[in-house]
Amino acid sequence: MTTQILDAFDIEKDSDSIDIAAKLLREGKTVIFPTETVYGLGANAFDESAVKNIFVAKGRPSDNPLIVHISDVKDIEPLVTEIPDILYTLAEKFWPGALTVILPKSQRIPYITSGGLDTVAIRIPQNEIAREIIKRAGVPIAAPSANLSGSPSPTTFLHCKSDMMGRVDAIINSFDSLVGVESTVLLLDKNEPRILRPGGITYEMLLQYLPNLQIDKGVLNIIADNEKASSPGMKYKHYAPNADCVLVKANTKSFCDFVKKEQQKDKNVYVICFDEDIEFIENNAISYGKVDDHTTQAHNIFAVLRQTNDIENISKIYIHAPSMNDVGLAVYNRLIRSCAFNITEL
Ligand code: TXA
Ligand code: MG
């Protein structure tokens, strides 16, 4: 398949690219577009064969549902059968933004989009180019992260190009994703509201409007083969670079002492760590931000994980675990999966 590259950095100056992308989506084609969380691989959410092409391009299991992106809160009505009052409060506070809500789906949403579930995940992205493309397409856009299934999510145009060239109809070349981790997935049903995936909108932010907010067990724990996942995405291998990774929970001193010993045994051991660790580790260390700066950690983490794939002879990666408050919970949630739940506490 030939993949068209469309530059879009400015809504007005790059209006032509936005028109082309919108037209392609309307015609049932696949288009990768920027969002503030990560880049998304979009197709018309109503069009079964277009949505099928998303699953094929990513190599994604067909039971893992997609998020449907809209550009205005009024566009939610045809997609769902029920809208709880709290949705409008959350929409006012957090949309457009990194929050996805799960509601009972209407018949307009085909089962291929919802991974066979009777619910649908919906979000309005903050990125203006994304919203403009969706608006001009005139249809809701199903879009998972634009990476090959299992690899770290793409936060730059180059990440998308390296995973998806020849697999989609078009890729928008735009700015790097601001947030850097995906949206928070929030289940709103008859039970207490529950976070199925922590993301850009934090537990602490949501708690102000949802005092009985829960965090699903699958956010921090491995789902056993015989257990039902609240969110199918929890079951799958995720965000993994090529080398084996271990997540290390430790303070600066014990982390640095530990990895230095490991590097003495094997010079091909690499470290993903905080700015504060760098001066104590002589070799093979990449920082993803300051220890207390979860916003920067979120912004960098997927790019840093991908960067390790270019290092020759890398044998193992030790990753310094972030604390779990604010967007740190989202970063921690991604990293336990990058490490296939291989966690060491010092
Ligand atoms: O920030 C984001 O959310 C990005 C951008 C492109 O918007 N999208 C994204 O999509 O991360 P994806 O497909 O990579 O992740 C969607 C997650 C998956 O873990 C999926 O299982 C879950 O949301 N999900 C989607 N629909 C669901 C549903 N009806 N019930 C439970 N979980 C659902
Ligand atoms: Mg994804």
In the predicted model, what is the mean pLDDT of residues 324-333?
A: 97
Query: How many whole angstroms separate alpha carbon 222 and alpha carbon 1?
Result: 37
Query: How many whole angstroms separate alpha carbon 179 and alpha carbon 251?
Result: 25
Residue 261 has pLDDT above 90, yes or no: yes
> What tokens appear for 159 in the block?
């990440």
Considering 176-180, 218-222, 228-232, the range whose residues carry the highest mean pLDDT is: 176-180
Query: Is the backbone of residue 322 left (phi > 0), alpha (psi -120 to 50) or beta?
Result: beta
235: confidence class by pLDDT, cuts 50, 70, 90: confident
Instruction: Give the Å distances, CA to CA, from 34 to 82, 178, 287, 296.
Output: 30, 10, 25, 19
In the predicted model, what is the mean pLDDT of residues 45-66?
A: 97
282: confidence class by pLDDT, cuts 50, 70, 90: confident
Report the separation in Å between the CA atom of 66 and the middle of ligand 1, taken as the mean of its atom positions. 5
% of the chain exceeding 90 in pLDDT = 93
Give the CA-trace dihedral at 153, 156, 162, 167, to 10 degrees: 70
pLDDT tens-digit readout, 99-156: 999 999 999 999 999 999 999 999 999 999 999 999 999 999 999 999 999 999 999 9
In the predicted model, what is the mean pLDDT of residues 16-41?
A: 98
Mutate to test the pocket of ligand 1, among 32, 54, 66, 126 (most ligand atoms within 8 A of CB): 66
Neighbours of 195 (CB within 10 A): 25
Is residue 143 lining ligand 1, measured as CB closer than 6 Å?
yes
Between 228 and 109, the higher pLDDT residue: 109
For the chain, the average pLDDT equals 96
Amino acid at 248: V
Report the separation in Å between the CA atom of 153 and the middle of ligand 2, taken as the mean of its atom positions. 6
Query: How many whole angstroms separate alpha carbon 115 and alpha carbon 22?
Result: 24
Mutate to test the pocket of ligand 1, among 38, 55, 182, 188 (most ligand atoms within 8 A of CB): 182
pLDDT tens-digit readout, 62-110: 999 999 999 999 999 999 999 999 999 999 999 999 999 999 999 999 9
pLDDT of residue 9: 98
Residue of 331, 321, 301 lying closest to 254 (CA atoms): 321
Residue 233 has pLDDT above 90, yes or no: no
Q: Is 215 exposed, middle or buried (0-12, 13-18, 19+ CB in 10 A)?
A: middle
Identify whether the C-beta of residue 33 lies closer than 8 Å to the C-beta of residue 95: no
Is residue 232 lining ligand 1, measured as CB closer than 6 Å?
yes
Residue 237 has pLDDT above 90, yes or no: no
Q: How far apart are the first and last CA of the chain?
A: 49
pLDDT of residue 22: 98
In the predicted model, what is the mean pLDDT of residues 268-284?
A: 95
pLDDT of residue 165: 98
> What tokens appear for 309 in the block?
């794939």
% of the chain exceeding 70 in pLDDT = 100
Per the confidence metrics, is the pTM higher than 0.95? yes
Mutate to test the pocket of ligand 1, among 231, 236, 337 (most ligand atoms within 8 A of CB): 231
Q: Is 205 exposed, middle or buried (0-12, 13-18, 19+ CB in 10 A)?
A: middle
Identify whether the C-beta of residue 22 lies closer than 8 Å to the C-beta of residue 8: no
Ligand 1: nearest atom to the Cα of 197:
19
Output the CA torsion sign for 119, 77, 131, 2. positive
Q: Which residues pair with 71 in a beta bridge?
A: none
Instruction: Give the Å distances, CA to CA, from 316 to 12, 70, 97, 101, 268.
Output: 46, 41, 36, 37, 7
Is residue 177 lining ligand 1, measured as CB closer than 6 Å?
no
pLDDT of residue 306: 96
Is residue 102 lining ligand 1, measured as CB closer than 6 Å?
yes
Identify whether the C-beta of residue 24 lies closer than 8 Å to the C-beta of residue 169: yes
Between 236 and 335, the higher pLDDT residue: 335
Report the separation in Å between the CA atom of 65 and the middle of ligand 1, taken as the mean of its atom positions. 7
> What tokens appear for 22 in the block?
């919108």
DSSP state of 80: B
Q: Of 147-151, 176-180, 301-305, which range is least confident? A: 147-151
pLDDT of residue 224: 80
229: confidence class by pLDDT, cuts 50, 70, 90: confident
Report the separation in Å between the CA atom of 258 and the middle of ligand 1, taken as the mean of its atom positions. 36
Report the separation in Å between the CA atom of 301 and the middle of ligand 2, taken as the mean of its atom positions. 14
240: confidence class by pLDDT, cuts 50, 70, 90: confident
Identify whether the C-beta of residue 321 lies closer than 8 Å to the C-beta of residue 333: no
In the predicted model, what is the mean pLDDT of residues 12-27?
A: 98
